[in-house]
Structures are given as structure tokens and as C-alpha cells.
Structure 1
Amino acid sequence: MLQRGAGKSTPHACLENNTTWDLIDDIEKLREHLKIPEWQVFGGSWGSTLALAYSESHPDKVTGLVLRGIFLLRKKELDWFYQGGAAAIYPDAWEPFRDLIPEKERESFVTAYHRRLNSEDLEIQYAAARAWTKWEMMTAHLLPNDENIKRGDDDYFSLAFARIENHYFVNKGFFPSDSFLLDNVDKIRHINTTIVQGRYDVCCPMMSAWDLHKAFPEADFKVVPNAGHSANEPGIAAELVAANEKLKSLAKKNKP
């Protein structure tokens, strides 16, 4: 499922009525439309944020959770990736992202990019979108993935990717507090959950998965020792398949 303003959604890259709570309503409307009484929820990266937010909002509708590349949308996570933390590992990828922004605006790259991604000049929007998207694509795999990196050259894709992602970051996920998702874990403790995390995930570093694991010890916690961020990495893909098979077996066992 792609969120509002992305994929084939129109208007393209639109930020109006595009909040976490709108997306949660969309997911719930889809469940009701399909007449599904309850379902398993799966999400990776930003999808893990949304999966947690949805499950905490509708805990009685979720039978199982599979979460990958945990992102809790806290300030320290955004600072890590957009204020120079990850740059220590990927300085070659970081510098083009950094150099688009004048030094006087570098106290907040998220804010500086927000200005450009919402400029009245479409070419300024595209230039910022390409730089934003390439930075993330170049850091998303343990080993470089040229096909993924080339997605940053696609202006249509990059504009939605960067503009919408940045919109959520500027607005702190539309959450009332920095630790909102962790603070509400008690609502989902009864749900069978698996957390899958690449040890060398640079985009969503393991500190977030670890914090979720400590707050939610009932969940299975799987650390893939030779993986980064992408769900397509073999070790992560294997753990995700295993987690889904486990939930499928539990569903069959509990079926009346």
C-alpha cells in the first residue's frame, strides 16, 4: 500500500491532508471496505513507524505484527541521518547532500530541504529531491546497490519520495511527543510481534530497534548480523519470511 501523494495517487507529491492520522484512517477504511475483521500488519522503515502507530490506535484489529528496520521518528534518529551522524560512515554520499545547502542554513538540513522541496520553482524542487533521495538510496544497503541508487535520478519518483518524507520529518511524524510510539507500547503487548533489524542499518540504526525491544520484551527480536537497511538483503528477507510463516501457523492453530 502506497500512501497519499505517492505512487499513482493524485495529486502527485501532495502534502495537503497528508498526516500519520490520515494514513491510519486510510488503512482502517481499507480494512472495513474489504470486510476483514482483523489482520496481520507488516511494515519496514517508515512502514514500521506507521505499523506501530496503526496498531496502537486499533489494537483490537491486529492479530500479528512484523516490523523491519525500526524507525520511531525521534529527534535523535533524524539527527543521526540528517545532521551528520551517518556521514561518518558515508562521507562520499553525504557531501553532495550537504553541499546543496549553504553553510548558513546547515543548522537543520531537514528544514533547509523543506524550503527547497516546497519552492515555487519546480527545478529547485527537483534538484533538492534528487539530492535527498540519492543520499538515502546510497546508504540503504550493506553493499552498494546501483539499481536502487539510480532511482534518485527519476525526478517524478524523487519528488514524491523526498517531499512527503521531509514533510513528515518537519512535523515530527505528527506525534504529540518524541517518544509517543514507545510510550504506547502497552496497548500492543498482547499482539504476536517480530522485530527484524539489520545490525549495520545506517538509515534506521539499531538503537531504535533496541529501544523498542527493551520497551516490548515480549516481541521476538531478530538481529541480522550481516545486513543493512533493505528488506531485499538475504538475511533480512529470510527472517521476514520466517516471521510471516510463524504467524500463519499460529493463525491456523487458533482457527475455530
Structure 2
Amino acid sequence: MTKTLYPNIEPNQLFHLTVSDSFDSVRHEIYVETCGNPDGVPVVFVHGGPGAGCGLDDRCFFNPEKYHIILFDQRGCGRSKPLGNIVENTTQHLVQDMEAIREHLNIDRWVVFGGSWGSTLSLVYAQTHRDKVLGLIVRGVFFGTPAENKWLWQEGLSRFNPEAYARYSGLVPEAKQHEILKHYYQMMTSGDDAARNLAAFEMMRWEEHGFTMQDNEIPEDMEAAMENDGWHQGMLEAHFCVHNCFIEDQPIADNLSVLEGMPVYIVNGRYDMLTPPAKAYQLHQALPDSHLAIVDRAGHASKEPDMVNALVSATDSMLQKLS
């Protein structure tokens, strides 16, 4: 039987957790909410982007009667404060934030669930805090390598959307065509709000073209969102990708053995243009006891019907594995 999302539920609690390192630091306040059964299996939802934030239906991948569901918006994202701030905002900071949330909620160990960029952060967290992870579910696997970033922002995806790529690359001078993402990042950090908003809009518009196998039209409200603080997602995504996700000195692929013995479920769309299934397969090969589902009729989006079926099946199977 094909599985669908669980019904939407209201949070049990929501709050902001201050995670700044000192009084001289930027005061990052992380939005956190908990849902489902407080006595159930703890699971933390790690959103994508970087910069996307959590949506209401992200709670619905999990059985609310059996899971204690924790969601949070990463630094600079969604309902966290300050919006779009890139100061003291690296992968290592986000791993520390996850630990702060776990400790604040008095959770001993939890399942970690992440998609796209969320898979990157989930993998780094699990490698760093192996003893705090009950199990791992990742979708749209992305190791954050220079080659993957080149595929997204320079060449690779461009071969499938040449007309959209012409618009995206057209914002960059001829002399900078070999470093398009870097030029976009410079526009976003120039201090010119109009240049920042334009660059963020065009970057997100470009990525949207590779997002789904279904309706691939750009949302009509996208430009309006950019004019109303929607620029922050482009800013965060450029910030992390131009720095190769801040993990070049400790590549994910070099430390996969630490995850051996952990229940791991891997899900990837067969036709995922943003995070092709090669990395999902590489992860599975490194962890032979993991469960790999390549979803034939799916791209990158988490809410395509066959992808939902695979992800909910994974969260349900995780419960059985841990029981």
C-alpha cells in the first residue's frame, strides 16, 4: 500500500534557544518546536537549503503517536533570528546547535532525518556525535564536495536546462563566467540591497529548475517573496556552497566507517537533478547494512508522491528496527 504523509499536527511547544558562544558574538536565536508523543522515539528533522527553514508538513513524515518530533530552523533561516545572518554561521556551528537543542530537551539519543543539504548536516552531525544517534534517514544525499557544488552552480545541471542557465549566467560578466557562484556571493555581500535581492532571486530561480519531475514552473510568488526578506535563502545557500559547506578539511566520504552498526535508510530520486543518486549509492556501498531506495518516479522534491511513500516507509521501518 502506498504511504502518504501523516495528518498535520500542532506543536506541543515552540521556543527560541540562544546559541551564541559569548556576549561578543552575534546573538543567534534558534527556532525550535516539538510535536507528537513526548514519550515516543525522538527524531530531529534537519531541513535543506542551506537556508530553507522548516515547513508545516515537514512534521508529517513521522507517526505522531510513536515519534517525539523535533524541528528547528537553522541559523539565519525561517523563524530563527537574525534572519539571513552569515556571521558565525558554519556547518560546525550548526552541529553545535543540534547538540544544544538535544541537551536542552533532555534527549539522550535521537533519530536524525535530513534531506538535501539536510543530509549533509545530518551526516556530519552523526559522524561527530555518533553516540547520540539512534539511527539515520537521509534523502537527496549531498556530500558538499567541490565537484557537487560545481555540478549545481557552474556546469552539470546546466546541460539539462540550457535556456534557464543562460538567464542565470547572464547576470555575471564574461570575465567571471568561470566562477559564477563566487560572483553571486559577492553581489549578495556587497552591501547593496537591490543587488543582493536580484542575485538571491536569480540563484533560487536557477535552482528551482532542477527541483522536481512534476510541475517545474517557477512559483509566481517567488519574486514577491524575495522582495519581502526572501533573499535570506539565497544568501545562506551561496555562503555555504562557496565555502564547500565548510567541510573540505574533513570530507564526509573519509569518515563513513564511524556509522557502521547504525540503522541507516537512504532515499534518492532516480531523476534528482540537484543531488543525483551517485552519492546515495556511494553511501550505501560504504555501509552495506544500510537500506537504499532509489525512487524511479521522483526528482529532488521531498513531497512528490513516490518520494513521500519512500520516506514515510523509512520512518515507519526505523520504528520497527528500534523496537
Q: Same fold (TM over 0.5)?
A: yes
User: Residue in 1 aligned with 2:114?
Assistant: 43
Tell whether the 8 Å contact from 1:5 to 1:13 is kept in structure 2 after alignment. yes
- Measure, in 1, the Cα distance between the counterparts of 2:224 and 2:273: 21
Deviation at 1:144, TM superposition (A): 2.5
Q: Matches of residues 87-236 of structure 1 in structure 2 within 5 Å?
A: 87-146=158-217, 148=219, 150-151=221-222, 153-155=224-226, 156=228, 158-177=230-249, 180-236=251-307
> In structure 2, which of residues 83, 86, 96 is the aligned counterpart of residue 12 of structure 1?
83
Q: Relative contact order: is structure 1 or structure 2 higher (C-alpha 8 Å, sep ≥ 6)?
A: 1
- Seen in structure 2, the aligned counterparts of structure 1 residues 71 and 150 have a Cα distance that, compared at 3 Å, is farther
* 1:65 match: secondary structure: strand
* Structure 1 stretch displaced more, 47-56 or 104-113: 104-113
Contact 2:263 2:321 in 1 (8 A): no
CA gap of 1:152–1:41, structure 2 versus 1, over 3 A, is farther
How many residue pairs are counted as aligned between the two chains? Answer: 251
Structure 1, unmatched stretches of 5+, are none
Identity of aligned residues (%): 33
CA apart distance, 1:113: 0.7
The offset of 1:216, in angstroms, is: 2.1
1:157 shift after superposition: 5.1
Q: Deviation at 1:23?
A: 0.4
Provide closer, same or farther for how the CA distance between residues 89 and 184 of structure 1 changes in structure 2, counting only shifts above 3 A.
same
TM-score of the superposed pair, with normalisation by structure 1: 0.93
Question: Aligned partners of 1:138 and 1:57: how far apart in 2?
Answer: 34
Q: Once the 2 structures are TM-superposed, how far is the Cα of residue 127 of structure 1 from its aligned partner? A: 0.3
Tell me what 2:148 maps to: 77
1:61 alignment partner, one of 125, 132, 136? 132
Q: Which residue of 1 aligns with 2:49?
A: none
Q: Please state which structure has a larger fraction of its residues in strand.
A: 2
Structural RMSD (CA): 1.5
CA deviations over 1:117-167 (Å, ceiling 9, x no partner): 111110000000000011112210012344757435411454111111111
Structure 2 segments unaligned to the other structure (5+ residues)? 1-71
Once the two structures are TM-superposed, the CA of residue 248 in structure 1 deviates from its matched residue by 1.0
